[in-house]
Amino acid sequence: MAELTYRDAVAAGIAQEMERDERVVFLGEDIAAAGGVFKATVGLLEKFGPKRVRDTPISEQAILGAAMGAAMTGLRPIAEIMFSDFLAVCWDIVANEIAKTRYMTNGQITLPLVIRTANGAGSRFGAQHSQAVENWAMMIPGIKVIAPAFPADVKGLLAAAIRDPDPVLFFEQKSLYSMKGEVPDGEHVDELGKAKVLRHGSDCTIVALASMVHKSLDAAAILEKEHGISCTVVDVRSLVPLDTQTILSEIGKTGRLFTVEENPRLCGWGAEIASIAAEECFWTLDAPIIRITTPHIPLPSADKLEDATIPSVERIVREIREKMD
């Protein structure tokens, strides 16, 4: 095992797959010479050269148009959209072209491509550079949606995404880039569509994603130590495919469900999980499902205001304790 930062795990996952398969190419703004605006791709240009690691113009439509064309002709491109907010600029290509091509060609054309992007708040970048938009992606048929919380998952899930025959949107939570964790040495490939149970409890089940996983684990420790409330914590990791089997199984064991979501409340991914749980686990639920989310507002850039908006450890503890009384 090696200890890597979340950002270094990104580079490690890309390098692993570029070494394995010469069809893997990488393109995006400032990803080559600069090593990425978040320094998540340092060393790739030097290792694989400018033909396979290419800086692009500042045009999200050009990046994804080129990646789609490359995938159609036999390559396996990785395209970086610097901030997930900028997916709005090229959403037509994502939602109407990349997502639909296999279906509309009756399987004659597949698009094995990965769109990487930095997602979410925590870095004080304001309303146009801090959105958590994974719920935008999960409602488009034809795209797989991944959001890892730990460096080992970054490397393993990124490798799996690159090997997948269909398009994958890979959301990297930008506030996690500096966190460290153990990552398996050598080739490491995870499985898309599998949630992980990180903590077992008997009183309630917390379902979380990306940076909210870490806050949920911290909150669960406080709840048990200070309030005697035992929490299961599930890291969703993959929104599409969604591991309903693991999630529903853990809800069934405790009878109570809390989702912790960074995305705005309206139409967040937790609403879908709550809907599935209400339908599939109705008779085992002991209380209403509670969603702990960001309000439906543009994110502020001021540090205290951003912290007050995004679910915090204190807020998770407070809301679960109040609902468990």
CATH of domain 196-324: 3.40.50.920
**Confidence (pTM):** 0.97
Give whole-number Cα distances, 36 to 32, 67, 80, 122, 310, in Å.
Answer: 7, 18, 9, 18, 26
Beta strands in the chain (DSSP E): 2-5, 24-28, 53-55, 76-83, 114-119, 144-146, 168-173, 180-183, 196-199, 204-208, 231-235, 238-240, 257-264, 290-294
* pLDDT band at residue 4 under the 50/70/90 scheme: very high
Exposure b/e, 107-123, CB count within 10 A at least 16 = b: eeeebbbbbbbbbbbbb
Cβ neighbours for 295, distance < 8 A, ≥ 6 positions apart: 264, 265, 309
Fold of 2-183: Rossmann fold (3.40.50)
Confidence at residue 37, expressed as pLDDT on a 0 to 100 scale? 96
* Whether residue 188 lies in the annotated active site: no
> Strand, coil or helix: what is 140?
coil
pLDDT tens across 189-236, in order? 999 999 999 999 999 999 999 999 999 999 999 999 999 999 999 999
pLDDT tens across 234-266, in order? 999 999 999 999 999 999 999 999 999 999 999
What's the chain's average pLDDT?
Answer: 97
For range 1-25, the mean pLDDT: 97
CATH 3.40.50.970 boundaries in the chain? 2-183
Share of residues in the chain with pLDDT > 90 (%) = 98
pLDDT of residue 1 exceeding 90, the answer is no
pLDDT tens across 73-105, in order? 999 999 999 999 999 999 999 999 999 999 999
Confidence at residue 177, expressed as pLDDT on a 0 to 100 scale? 98
Q: Report the distance separating Cα 298 and Cα 318, nearest Å.
A: 24
pLDDT of residue 15 exceeding 90, the answer is yes
pLDDT tens across 20-60, in order? 999 999 999 999 999 999 999 999 999 999 999 999 999 99
Confidence at residue 325, expressed as pLDDT on a 0 to 100 scale? 79
pLDDT tens across 104-128, in order? 999 999 999 999 999 999 889 999 9
